[in-house]
Amino acid sequence: MAGLTAPGASSRPVPVPVRLPLREIVPWAVFAAVLGLVILYFVGAEQGAMSLFGGSAIHEFMHDGRHLLGSPCH
């Protein structure tokens, strides 16, 4: 029985997982977190007393997004 292989067995190479160094991921993760917080601020809090910008242009621009996310704005 020596030298026999199972039916359908072949000598295919085994895939090796790709390793990503942490130092390459961290800058992108920080960028995504900061961008997410900025978007969350503009969609959820840019109005009234917490407003960084005068007028209501940003509030009106983000108005539908607030309602879509279930955030009250009135």
What tens digit of pLDDT does each residue of 16-26 get? 988 888 899 99
pLDDT given for residue 20 in this prediction: 83
Which residues, given as ranges, of the chain have pLDDT below 50?
none
Looking at residue 17, its amino acid is P
- Element (H or E) spanning 41, and its range? helix 22-44
Tokens of 51: 């407003």
Task: Report pLDDT for 47.
Answer: 63
Q: What is the pLDDT of residue 38?
A: 86
Which pTM value belongs to this model? 0.52
Asked if 66 and 44 touch (Cβ cutoff 8 Å), the reply is yes
Structure tokens at 9: 């067995």
Burial class (CB in 10 A: 0-12, 13-18, 19+), 65: middle
pLDDT of residue 31: 98
